[in-house]
């Protein structure tokens, strides 16, 4: 029977969580009321009809129609270096470094602290090796498939091995992407490279402690080229299928998080449970590392979301603000939910809640205001908590570090609510929840089915899983011949 002290703590946590929902409800109601009042206050009075006799004069006085604006470029361009915006370029260079920091050391430490001591080096190695592997593949073919004009699913090979991406110092010319006209293409390409790096690295959390290193490299390499790049093209490149439909995914709710999360679930199911799962204690070996990694992810995420504006402007500022706000709300939401359900708020819980908030606000960060960020943060904290605990236990799958529960579920929450809370004054776009749902479903199917096929092929050729003896010994020693003392 719970003590009075624990009961009181749970009541306080419940009151705090209800308070969060109350604030969200009030903000939504206030925003709706403002929307209803706005038309009456701002709508201009209808002009009186002009007399028939004055019509010719009015027509004669009308200015000549302005010439049609030139269409926006849809392929990379070569421009004079004087057209490059130094402020935008400086911000994008900074954002690129911040997003790379999210993988090494951020994600590496976040995951490394959650595994058992015998697997920490192997977990760190996965993030580091993926960073190196994807860098090479992105330069050779990944960037070209994702970010050149092509069909609805694939780009072209126009930028194979970065062919045509130039900087001619003496001539004063530089190539720019049609998706970032004020920064050198080399900067835009490298910025997008860091997204391509972290996405497969996220998948590793689902199969921690049991995949062969060789199989992991093959899977991540093939997945990066055959699944990540096509989905990035579909969602972000104007000739891509869902981009053409008007999907709103500012920084990767579908491309990064749902994509990685569903692939992680498939990996967990295909590999099976860890030896001793559900019978042996598998506590994180060092939550200090995990909290440090989560903190680095939080800071790096400003480059992830605000950097996706591809400019140092008002949208970048708004994206940074809502990222901070939604993350804080989600961390508190997860913490209070856990406090109510389990009786104590944990360090792992608040860190996981923060990451869930970062995930969920990612697709919405350039499109929503404070109200949307508040609701997205609350929803992410509560729903991801139950996905990583109750749902996982109910279905019995072994998603080791909750890659699916946090990234896929958080990504779905964010992608759908982006369509609900889109603010046109910020986004300059209308939102369609049906389009958002279609993009989510496409990502789930393409990544889920594609990952399953890749895993089965690799399993037939070289095998996916280490032996039971190697798993019990620990991957640090059995795969890498090293150990943490």
What would the pLDDT profile of 250-265 be if each residue is shown by its tens digit? Answer: 999 999 999 999 999 9
How far apart, in whole angstroms, are the C-alpha atoms of residue 102 and residue 300? 5
Which pLDDT score is estimated for 223? Answer: 98
Please tell me the predicted confidence (pLDDT) of residue 450. Answer: 98
CA-CA distance, 187 to 316, in Å (whole number)? 17
- Is the Cβ–Cβ distance between 209 and 475 less than 8 Å? yes
SS3 111: helix
Q: Are 343 and 326 in contact (CB under 8 A)?
A: no
Instruction: Answer whether 330's CB lies under 8 Å from 360's CB.
Output: yes
How many whole angstroms separate alpha carbon 227 and alpha carbon 449? 10
Backbone angles phi, psi at 80, to 5 degrees: -75, 145
Total-model pTM: 0.89
Our CA angle for 129, 135, 140, nearest 5°, is 130
Helix boundaries (H) for 115-212: 120-137, 143-147, 185-203
Element (H, E) at 123: helix 120-137
Residue bearing tokens 């960060």:
365
Nearest by Cα to 242 from 60, 437, 448: 437
CB-CB contact of 336 with 17 (8 Å): yes
Section 104-111 average pLDDT: 98
pLDDT of residue 71: 80
The predicted model gives 155-181 an average pLDDT of 97
Looking at residue 50, its pLDDT comes to: 36
Q: Quick one: average pLDDT of 21-41?
A: 45
What's the CA gap between 405 and 284, in Å, rounded?
17
Q: What is the pLDDT of residues 411-442, one digit of tens each?
A: 999 999 999 999 999 999 999 999 999 999 99
Q: How confident is the model at residue 20 (pLDDT cuts 50, 70, 90)?
A: low
Whether the predicted pLDDT of 52 surpasses 50 = no
Rounded Cα distance, 213 and 422, in Å: 42
Distance from C-alpha of 267 to C-alpha of 270, rounded to nearest angstrom: 5
Examine the pLDDT at 60 and tell me if it is beyond 50.
Answer: no
Structure confidence at residue 220 as a pLDDT band (50, 70, 90): very high
Spatial CA neighbour of 187 closest among 306, 55, 86, 268? 86
Contact yes or no for 100/199 (Cβ under 8 A): no
């Amino acid at each position: 029977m719970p003590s009075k002290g624990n009961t009181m703590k749970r009541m306080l946590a419940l009151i705090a969580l209800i308070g969060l929902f109350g604030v969200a409800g009030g903000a939504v109601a206030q925003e709706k009321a403002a929307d209803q009042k706005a038309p009456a206050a701002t709508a201009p009075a209808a002009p009186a009809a002009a007399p028939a006799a004055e019509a010719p004069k009015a027509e004669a006085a009308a200015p000549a129609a302005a010439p049609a604006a030139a269409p926006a470029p849809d392929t990379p361009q070569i421009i004079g270096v004087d057209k490059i915006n130094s402020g935008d370029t400086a911000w994008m260079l900074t954002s690129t470094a911040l997003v790379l920091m999210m993988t090494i050391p951020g994600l590496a430490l976040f995951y490394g602290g959650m595994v058992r001591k015998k697997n920490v080096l192997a977990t760190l190695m996965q993030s580091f090796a993926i960073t190196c592997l994807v860098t090479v593949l992105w330069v050779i073919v990944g960037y070209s498939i994702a970010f050149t004009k092509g069909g609805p699913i694939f780009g072209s090979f126009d930028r194979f091995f970065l062919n045509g991406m130039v900087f001619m110092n003496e001539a004063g010319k530089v190539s720019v992407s049609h998706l970032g006209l004020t920064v050198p293409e080399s900067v835009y390409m490298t910025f997008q490279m860091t997204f391509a790096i972290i996405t497969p690295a996220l998948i590793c959390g689902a199969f921690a402690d049991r995949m062969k290193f060789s199989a992991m490299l093959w899977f991540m390499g093939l997945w990066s080229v055959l699944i990540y790049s096509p989905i990035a093209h579909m969602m972000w490149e104007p000739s891509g299928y869902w981009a053409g439909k008007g999907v709103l995914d500012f920084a990767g709710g579908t491309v990064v998080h749902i994509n990685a999360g569903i692939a992680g679930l498939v990996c967990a199911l295909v590999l099976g449970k860890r030896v001793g799962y559900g019978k042996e204690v598998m506590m994180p070996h060092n939550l200090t590392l995990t909290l440090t990694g989560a903190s680095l992810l939080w800071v790096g995420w400003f480059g992830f979301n605000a950097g996706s504006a591809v400019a140092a402007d008002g949208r970048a500022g708004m994206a940074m603000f809502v990222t901070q706000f939604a993350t804080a709300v989600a961390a508190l939401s997860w913490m209070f939910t856990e406090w109510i359900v389990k009786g104590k708020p944990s360090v792992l819980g608040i860190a996981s809640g923060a990451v869930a908030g970062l995930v969920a606000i990612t697709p919405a960060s350039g499109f929503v205001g404070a109200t949307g960020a508040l609701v997205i943060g609350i929803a992410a904290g509560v729903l991801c908590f139950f996905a990583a605990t109750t749902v996982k236990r109910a279905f019995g799958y072994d998603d080791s570090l909750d890659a699916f529960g946090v990234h896929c579920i958080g990504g779905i929450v964010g992608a759908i609510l982006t369509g609900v809370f889109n603010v046109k004054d910020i986004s300059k776009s209308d939102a369609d929840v049906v389009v958002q749902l279609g993009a989510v479903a496409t990502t789930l199917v393409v990544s889920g089915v594609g990952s399953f096929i890749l895993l089965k092929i690799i399993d037939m050729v070289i095998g996916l899983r280490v032996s039971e003896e190697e798993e019990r010994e620990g991957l640090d020693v059995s795969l890498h011949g090293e150990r943490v003392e």
